[in-house]
Amino acid sequence: MTLPQTMTHVDLVAAGGPENLRLVAGRVPVPKPGEILVRVAAAGINRPDVLQREGAYPPPPDASPILGLEISGEVVALGSGTTGWRIGDRVAALCNGGGYAEYCAVPGTQALPWPDGYDAVRAAALPETFFTVWANVFSMAGLRAGETLLVHGGSSGIGTTAIQLAWARGATVLATAGSAEKCAACEALGARRAINYRTEDFVAVVREETGGAGADVILDMVGAPYFGRNLAALAPDGRLSIIAFLGGAKVTDASLAPILSRRLQVMGSAMRPRTAAEKQAIRDDLLREVWPLVASGAVAPVIQSVLPLARIADAHREMDAGAHIGKIVVTVG
């Protein structure tokens, strides 16, 4: 297969708003040892992309400066020593950057096959949220069947994934969201009760729904404003998993005493700084534990809108507005 030397990709001309995202020509990446080169068919839009666009989440030195952390497409070349994939395979992959482009080189160990019956758009909506939810809710926080999970931001891409996976694996799910429409969407996906955080106190509702016990695990992306209230909403031996600080990172008005008195655990992680070995381990868990649920239809990505790559700025504006439910995806080519 003869590959082109140049491709179209999205360039961030300067940190700032969506208007700073432009389509430009660049060179097709050459896959390194262990990598696959993917002709991108679709790419997911994620909150870390917005942070990078704003200048708040710079890529690691060895990562592509091009935005985009998840793609789907066809394998068109293999780096030396790459195993497990063949030319022509259709993959969904977690990228180390570079996803907003016609071609993207990714480690073969961060790619998964398209689930049965999936097209490029649905496959592109899987990697970032499924890697994140599995790592934080199940691997780190250890959510088990019969326990209660509280998901903040339940209507987001992360939230809709967490609700479905937790429910499919036997947990009771509560969720917060900011409108009646979003709350209804959370309950349709498996949340026993969705809490409108604009009009209700989630601590009180969680206590009521659990008979006073509290949630066993909380998945939080708000950060500082919720820290003390999250501790109050946890059951004894509960685990708080923090994956973002959309409301701020500096806690100034919360007591740490409940951590000691109720044996609480506070943890957090970001996906980008994880090692290649850690990402491979998550990929392997997804293949074994989650991909069968996806293939059966028990769990599926929720997709709000699909736009062409030429409208990447509009896709980011939609993400910034925060009115979406689930994922925003762009098609390439």
We find that the CATH architecture of domain 6-126+272-331 is: Alpha-Beta Complex (3.90)
Checking if the pLDDT of 1 tops 80, the result is: no
Q: How many CA atoms lie within 13 A of 188 on its CB side?
A: 11
Instruction: Give the closest residue to 298 by CA, choosing from 117, 140, 169, 204.
Output: 169
Model confidence band, residue 28 (pLDDT cutoffs 50, 70, 90): very high
210-215: long-range contacts, CB 8 A cutoff, minimum separation 24 = 210/148, 210/235, 213/148, 214/148, 214/238, 215/148, 215/149, 215/150, 215/174
Which of 56-65, 100-109, 112-121, 300-309 shows the lowest mean pLDDT across its residues? 56-65
User: CA 333 to CA 321: how far, in whole Å?
Assistant: 26
Q: How many CA atoms lie within 13 A of 175 on its CB side?
A: 31
The per-residue pLDDT for range 70-83, each reduced to its tens digit, is 999 999 999 999 99
N- to C-terminal Cα separation, the chain:
18
Report the predicted TM-score, pTM, of the whole model to 2 decimal places: 0.97
- Span(s) in the chain for CATH 3.90.180.10: 6-126+272-331
- Mean pLDDT within 84-111: 98
> H helices within the chain, ranges in order?
47-53, 120-124, 127-133, 157-168, 180-188, 202-209, 227-233, 257-261, 276-285, 291-296, 312-321
Q: Are 178 and 202 in contact (CB under 8 A)?
A: no
- Mean pLDDT within 39-49: 97
Alpha-carbon distances of 207 from 119, 233, 235, rounded to whole Å:
41, 7, 9
- Label residues 282-312 b or e (16+ Cβ within 10 Å = b): bbebbeeebbebbeeeebbbbbbebbebeeb
Which of 250-254, 258-262, 289-293, 300-304 shows the lowest mean pLDDT across its residues? 250-254
- Mean pLDDT within 9-17: 98
Instruction: Give the closest residue to 82 by CA, choosing from 38, 29, 33.
Output: 33
Range 130-268 classified under CATH 1.10.3720.10 = no
Model confidence band, residue 150 (pLDDT cutoffs 50, 70, 90): very high
Model confidence band, residue 303 (pLDDT cutoffs 50, 70, 90): very high
Average pLDDT of the residues of the chain: 97
- Span(s) in the chain for CATH 3.40.50.720: 130-268
pLDDT score of 62: 87
Checking if the pLDDT of 2 tops 90, the result is: no
Show Cβ contacts of residue 249 under 8 Å, excluding neighbours closer than 6 positions: 223, 224
Residues of the chain with pLDDT > 70, as a percent, come to 100
